[in-house]
Amino acid sequence: MKHFDHANPYTSTRIPVFARNVVSTSHPLAAQAGLRILHQGGNAVDAAVAAAAAMTLVEPVSNGLGGDAFCILWDGRQLHGLNSSGPAPAAWTPDYFRRKYGNDAQHPPLRGIDAVTVPGAVGAWAALSERFGRLPFADLMAPAVEIAERGYLVPPVVRQKWAAATPLLKDAPGFAGTFLPWGRAPEVGELFRFPAAARALRAIGETKGEAFYRGEIAAAIAKFAAAHGGSLTAADLAAWQPEWVTPVSKSYRGYTLHEIPPNGQGIAALIALGILSHFDVAALPVDSVASQHLQIEAMKLAFADVYRYVAEPSSMEVTPEQMLDDSYLASRARLIDVKRAQEFKPGNPVKGGTIYLTAADESGMMVSFIQSNYMGFGSGCVEPGFGISLHNRGHAFSLAEGHPNRVAPGKRPFHTIIPGFLTKDGQPVMSFGVMGANMQPQGHMQTLVRMLDYHQAPQAACDAPRWRFNAGRAINAEAAMDPRTVQGLVDLGHEVEVIQDSYQDFGAGQFIWRMGDPAVEGYQAASDPRRDGLAAGF
């Protein structure tokens, strides 16, 4: 067990939770759904699947039945990775989009039915349950079915994002009929019911997900897409399967961080930590300008390479191993000037709105799981019969000739959602994640530096003010950051905008740290105060 300083120097509405069985999510009802399954004799995978199903209902501003998912889990003996992101429909080519949207189009559209790739979240649930679960799959859907049928009272953070999305999406097919039952977004404390999703969840549970990809739900999605000018077909859904993968990893301060390999951006956190390993970060005060500057510059260097090279693996010009090569990362570290902010270009490695949840049980199984509709409610399109809120992950494709992420039939787009997992000497230490677009690898790096370099406990590392790199020398700083630190970064040449909305710009994390023998000492868990979440256990 790592020795933490449990004196939390940051204002927080949360305290760490210590338990032998624990679920941490960004909504209390989802955490309780997971605990309910654990009480019924399920394991951490069962709990994570139940919590994920509940999250599609209680935080629809971030995820839905029509989203994608990824998972890293420790089964008690070894680590496994699951890439459950779906590909482009068979009809998608650059010409398809240019015929519809003009020759100047650089990407598939931001919203609407032509932003929708095959959804993978339900497939992730089924695959995890089939391989590692203990309880019948239908039992895992039961808590979510109950929430959908009886409804729940809308909490503050979810309500804020619901209201913000309404002007943008109110005219999208199926959106108003599903998410604006009052003709507006719900108020805090209003009861929202989702009977269409209850029908979907029952069918998914009874068929172990088959109804979604090769049954009545698949037929409904295909019919809905065709009716609104889309090209996603029942054949596209039926042809897809999630992929078990080997996580990519990088050591830092005696620990090893594991991420899902490309087509995801998790490798950015590994690159940044590999660069930081060439500096004595712990010698600098934890919230100092010098420490934050080093981390920002390392993250910039990581993104320069990630945005240039990462795509579906078969389309990449370089391998993850080349991007993570020690000598290459040392050369990138030498580009950092500790006295000024810079803009970085990609190197040459050849030479050298999402939800996150985590669950762990006393047998030692730990699950790091993330699912997303991408930008809030995603495409805005909702198949009404089953309440399938479809993501807009297709917008991440490029239409540019020669780009590694150029759209093609059956190809998966560049992905932002990333679960994280930490080990030491081959043994599990922490399942964790920080949701929020390109904030995710930045959040992984910032929280790990706090825990591993500065010995801050997970809840303190979660509570601490964050920054977010955007592009060039532009960063956002959370309003809670010390104004002297902000000014110090400005003096170094960073273009800093202080942001009040923590949810939108700085992500939200959930953390479970193993304290020793899971059946004896158990775990400590943290939940981010930037959302309506809860870490709960017994």
Q: What's the one-letter identity of residue 438?
A: N
d(CA 456, CA 464): 10
Strand 495-499 versus strand 474-478 pairing type: parallel
Reading phi first (left if > 0) and then psi (alpha if -120 to 50, else beta), residue 502 is in: alpha
**Cβ neighbour number for residue 486 with a 10 Å cutoff:** 22
Phi first, then psi, for residue 423 (nearest 5°) are -130, 165
CB 181 within 8 A of CB 221: no
Q: What angle do CA 279, 283, 284 make, to 5 degrees?
A: 90
d(CA 66, CA 221): 10
Number of C-alpha atoms within 13 angstroms, CB side, residue 413?
A: 28
d(CA 96, CA 493): 43
Tokens of 423: 């080990």
d(CA 439, CA 427): 27
Q: Is the dihedral of CA 234, 60, 111, 83 positive or negative?
A: negative
354 is catalytic: yes
Return the H-helix or E-strand segment holding 429: strand 427-435
d(CA 23, CA 281): 32
- Catalytic: which of 56, 354, 358, 485? 354
d(CA 30, CA 406): 37
Q: Which residues are catalytic?
A: 354
